[in-house]
Amino acid sequence: MYALIISLFILPVAVSVLVLILPKNLSRILVIASAAILSVISFYLLVSIEEPFHFGVSHYMNEVVSVADILLLLYFGSVAIRKKSWLVGLLTVLQFGALLYLLKIIPEEYQAQFTVDKLSVFMFLLINVISGIISIFSLQYIDGEDCSAFRKKYFLSILFWFIAVMNIIVSSDNMECFFLFFELTTLASFLFIGFRKDEISGKNALTALWMNQIGGLAILGAIFFIIHNGYGTATFSNLLAHSSVPGILLPLALLCVAALVKGAQMPFSKWLLGAMVAPTPVSALLHSSTMVKIAPFIILRLSPALKGTPVASVVIAMTGFVFVAAAIGALSQDNFKRILAHSTIALLALMIMMAAVGTPVTIIAALTLVFFHGLSKCMLFLNAGILERIFHFKQTSDMDKLAETGPFTSLVISIGFMSLLLPPFGAFMGKWFGIESLGVLAINQKMLGAFVIVAIACGGAILSLLYFKVLGLLIARTGDHDGVKFEKTKPLYSATISILLGLIILSVLSYPFLMSHYFVPVASQTLSLPIEVTIYGWKLHVGAMALPVVPLLIAFLLLPITIITATFIRFKNVDRVKEYACGEKTNYSFSSFYFATDRATPYFSVIGILFFITLIVVSIL
C-alpha cells in the first residue's frame, strides 16, 4: 500500500521530467499510459483503504522541506523584482520572516507526517482521473498554441508536476508540508496563467500569485499559533484532537481563510476569473478537479472541529452571500469560459457551506457536489477548448446555430449544463441533500438558517436562469437542415469528451451504489460517526433524510426524450413561412428593468472583505 501511495507522488514527477527530453511521439505514449496508470492506482486505493494509513519520512526530509520553502519564497521575491509588483514583494517578505521564525521554534523531532484516509483517496480519484483526461486532451490542444516546441513540452511538464503536488497536498498531515505544497499550487497557477506571455496573461498571473500568497500567510499564522501556545505539533490530526481547547478557534479561522482564498471566494474571485486567459486545459485543471478543490477539502478536513462554532457560522453566512453574488455576476456574461468561471465560484461556495455546517448529510452533500462538479465542469471546459479551436466561438451569442453546425458538441455541452442543474444528476442531489439537512441549522440558529436557505434558493434560481439561457442557444436551430450529421473532431478530443460523458452517465446510473459505498464511508470516517444508508419503500434513506427514487427514475427516462427531440427531430417536407398578420399593422412596445452587474462587483468585494474581518474577529473573541 505504501508503495502505491508513493507512486502517486513520484510517477507524475518522473513523467514531468521525461516529457521535456523525450521525442514528441514517445511523450504522447508516456502521457496516455501514465494517465491510465494513475487512474487505476487511485481506484485500487479507493476500494482497498479502510482505515487511515499513517506514515512519516526521514528527519532529513524536514531539512528538504525547509530548503524548498526558502527557495520558493526567493523565487517569489525575484518575480516581485522583475515584474515590479510591490504586493508580491510585501507578501513574500512577510512570509519569509514568518517562515524563518517558525524554523527556529519548531522542535527538532518534528517530522513530515502523512495521512491517507478515505477523504484522501476520494481526492486521489478525482485528481488523477480528471487530470489524466485533461492531460490527454492537452496533447492535441497544445499543438495549436503559437509557441515553440519546448514551450509545448514545458506545458505538459508543469501539468504532471502539478498532479504530483495535488496528490501530496491531500495526504499532508504536517502543516509545514501543507504550506509548501499549497504554495507550489500557487506557483503552478502563476506559471499556467502566464503561459502565453502576453500583457494580460502576465497581469492576471501576478494577481493569482499575490492573492494566493495571502492564503499561504494564513497557514503560517496557524502554525505559529499552534506551536507558540503549546498545543503540540502543527498537524491537522493534532488540531482536531485539541478542538475543544479554548482559543483554538484562531488557527481554525486562519486555515479557513486559506481555503476561502484558494476557493476564490469574494473578494479573491478575481484571480480565478483572470485564469480564463490561459490555455483551456488550464481552466479545466484549475476549475474542476484540482486547484480550487483544495478549498472544500480543507473545510471537510476541519469540519469536526468547525461544527457549531462562530467561525463556522461566519463561513456559512459568507459562502451563502458569495453563492448569490457569483450567480448574479454570471448572468451578464457572454463569454462562455467566464460564465463557467462565475458558476464555479458559486458552486464552490455551496460546497464550502455544506462542509462548514458539518452534519453527516451536509458532508455527503459536499462530497457529492465536489465529485459531480469535477466531472461536469471538466467536460464543459474541454468543450470550450473545442469551440475555440474548431468552431472559433468564444461568446455564447455566437452559438445560436451550433445545434446544426456542431450537433455533437452542442449535445455534450447541453448534457454538461443539465448535469449541474436537473435531476437525476448528482449536482442536483447534492443541492437537495443540502437544503433538506439545513433545516437542523434553521432550528438551532434561526437567522443564519433562514438566510442560508433563502441564499440557496435565490442562487439556485439565478443559476437555473443562466443555464437555461445558454441551453436555449445550444438547441436553437433555423430549420434549414433536415438531417443531423455529427461533426468530426480530432481523435483525442472526441475520446476524452466521450470518456467524461460516459463517466457522468455511469455515475448517475450507479448513484445509490456510489452513495452507500463511496460518499457515506468517506463522510463517516471524516466525522468519526456511523452513518446509516438504506433503500426501502422506493426511497434512499441517509440518516434521517429520505430521497425518493421514483421521481428520479422518471426524470432519467424523460431527459433523454427531451434531448433527442431537441437534437434529432426535424420537420421534413413542410413549407416554412414567416409570421402572417393578414396585413394588420401591429405596434410593439418593450420595457425592462436592468442593472450592470459589473458596477455591483466592488460592493460585493467590500462585503466579502467585511466577512473575512469578521471571521478573524469572532475567532479571537
pLDDT at 548 over 80: no
Instruction: Determine the pLDDT at residue 335.
Output: 85
Min mean pLDDT across 253-262, 285-294, 477-486, 537-546 is at: 477-486
Instruction: Determine the pLDDT at residue 124.
Output: 93
**SS3 of 547, please?**
strand
Instruction: Determine the pLDDT at residue 570.
Output: 66
How far apart are the C-alpha atoms of 412 and 379, rounded to whole Å? Answer: 8
Instruction: Determine the pLDDT at residue 83.
Output: 87
Structure confidence by residue, pLDDT tens digits, 490-499: 888 889 999 9
pLDDT at 454 over 70: yes
- Over range 241-270, report the average pLDDT: 88
Handedness of CA 411, 417, 422, 427 (dihedral sign): positive
Instruction: Determine the pLDDT at residue 574.
Output: 65
User: What is the DSSP secondary-structure string of 86-149?
Assistant: HHHHHHHHHHHHHHHHHHHHS-TT---EEEE-HHHHHHHHHHHHHHHHHHHHHHHHGGGSSS-H
Q: Where residue 125 falls among pLDDT bands split at 50, 70, 90? A: very high
Question: What backbone torsions phi and psi does residue 153 show, to the nearest 5 degrees?
Answer: -65, -40
* Mean pLDDT for all residues in the chain: 85
**Which range, 123-137, 220-234, 244-258, has the best average confidence (pLDDT)?**
123-137
pLDDT at 449 over 70: yes
Instruction: Determine the pLDDT at residue 41.
Output: 93
573: left (phi over 0), alpha (psi -120 to 50) or beta: left
**Which range, 51-65, 156-170, 264-278, 469-483, has the best average confidence (pLDDT)?**
156-170
Structure confidence by residue, pLDDT tens digits, 29-61: 999 999 999 999 999 998 888 888 888 777 777
Structure confidence by residue, pLDDT tens digits, 183-218: 999 999 999 998 888 889 889 999 999 999 999 999
User: What is the DSSP secondary-structure string of 402-434?
Assistant: HHHH-HHHHHHHHHHHHHTTSTTSHHHHHHHHH
Min mean pLDDT across 135-144, 148-157, 238-247, 438-447 is at: 438-447
Closest residue by Cα to residue 47 from 540, 521, 502: 521
What Å distances lie between residue 444 and 256, 361, 399, 531, CA to CA?
22, 16, 48, 21
The total of other beta-carbon atoms located within 10 Å of residue 565's CB is 10
pLDDT at 356 over 70: yes
pLDDT at 107 over 80: no
pLDDT at 297 over 90: yes
Structure confidence by residue, pLDDT tens digits, 299-309: 999 999 998 88
3-state SS of 160-229?
HHHHHHHHHHCCECEHHHHHHHHHHHHHHHHHHHCCCCCHHHHHHHHHHHHHHHHHHHHHHHHHHHHHHC
Between 504 and 562, name the one with better pLDDT.
Answer: 504
Is residue 216 a contact partner of residue 95, using CB atoms and an 8 Å limit?
yes
- Over range 266-293, report the average pLDDT: 83
Instruction: Determine the pLDDT at residue 162.
Output: 92
**SS3 of 577, please?**
coil
Structure confidence by residue, pLDDT tens digits, 395-431: 888 887 787 788 888 888 888 888 888 877 777 887 7
- What amino acid is encoded at 315 in this protein? V
Instruction: Find all residues with CB under 8 Å of 414, minimum gap 6, and list them.
Output: 471, 474, 475, 563, 566, 567
Instruction: Determine the pLDDT at residue 121.
Output: 93
Instruction: Determine the pLDDT at residue 288.
Output: 62
How far apart are the C-alpha atoms of 191 and 179, rounded to whole Å? Answer: 18
Instruction: Determine the pLDDT at residue 108.
Output: 64
The total of other beta-carbon atoms located within 10 Å of residue 200's CB is 12
How far apart are the C-alpha atoms of 225 and 261, rounded to whole Å? Answer: 20
Q: Where residue 106 falls among pLDDT bands split at 50, 70, 90? A: confident
Report which secondary-structure segment, H or E, holds 17: helix 2-21
Domain map of the chain by residue range?
Answer: 1-53+114-171, 304-572
Longest dimension (CA), the chain: 92
Q: Please give the grid coordinates belonging to residue 552.
A: 428520479
pLDDT at 537 over 80: no
pLDDT at 605 over 70: yes
How far apart are the C-alpha atoms of 336 and 394, rounded to whole Å? Answer: 6
- What amino acid is encoded at 171 in this protein? S
How far apart are the C-alpha atoms of 81 and 77, rounded to whole Å? Answer: 6
- Over range 573-587, report the average pLDDT: 68
Q: Where residue 581 falls among pLDDT bands split at 50, 70, 90? A: low
- Over range 564-577, report the average pLDDT: 67
Min mean pLDDT across 111-115, 181-185, 359-363, 380-384 is at: 111-115
How far apart are the C-alpha atoms of 331 and 327, rounded to whole Å? Answer: 7
Instruction: Determine the pLDDT at residue 176.
Output: 87
- Over range 1-30, report the average pLDDT: 90
Between 468 and 129, name the one with better pLDDT.
Answer: 129
Instruction: Determine the pLDDT at residue 110.
Output: 62
Q: Where residue 592 falls among pLDDT bands split at 50, 70, 90? A: low
pLDDT at 599 over 70: yes
- Over range 297-319, report the average pLDDT: 91
Structure confidence by residue, pLDDT tens digits, 64-96: 888 888 999 999 999 999 988 899 999 999 999
CA dihedral 84, 87, 93, 96 (to 10 degrees): -110
Instruction: Determine the pLDDT at residue 31.
Output: 92
Instruction: Determine the pLDDT at residue 245.
Output: 79
pLDDT at 571 over 90: no
Q: Please give the grid coordinates belonging to residue 50.
A: 479502510
CA dihedral 352, 354, 360, 364 (to 10 degrees): -80
Instruction: Determine the pLDDT at residue 184.
Output: 92
Instruction: Determine the pLDDT at residue 425.
Output: 79
Instruction: Determine the pLDDT at residue 479.
Output: 61
- What amino acid is encoded at 151 in this protein? R
Report which secondary-structure segment, H or E, holds 492: helix 491-509
How far apart are the C-alpha atoms of 384 and 492, rounded to whole Å? Answer: 15
Instruction: Determine the pLDDT at residue 577.
Output: 67
Handedness of CA 88, 90, 93, 99 (dihedral sign): negative
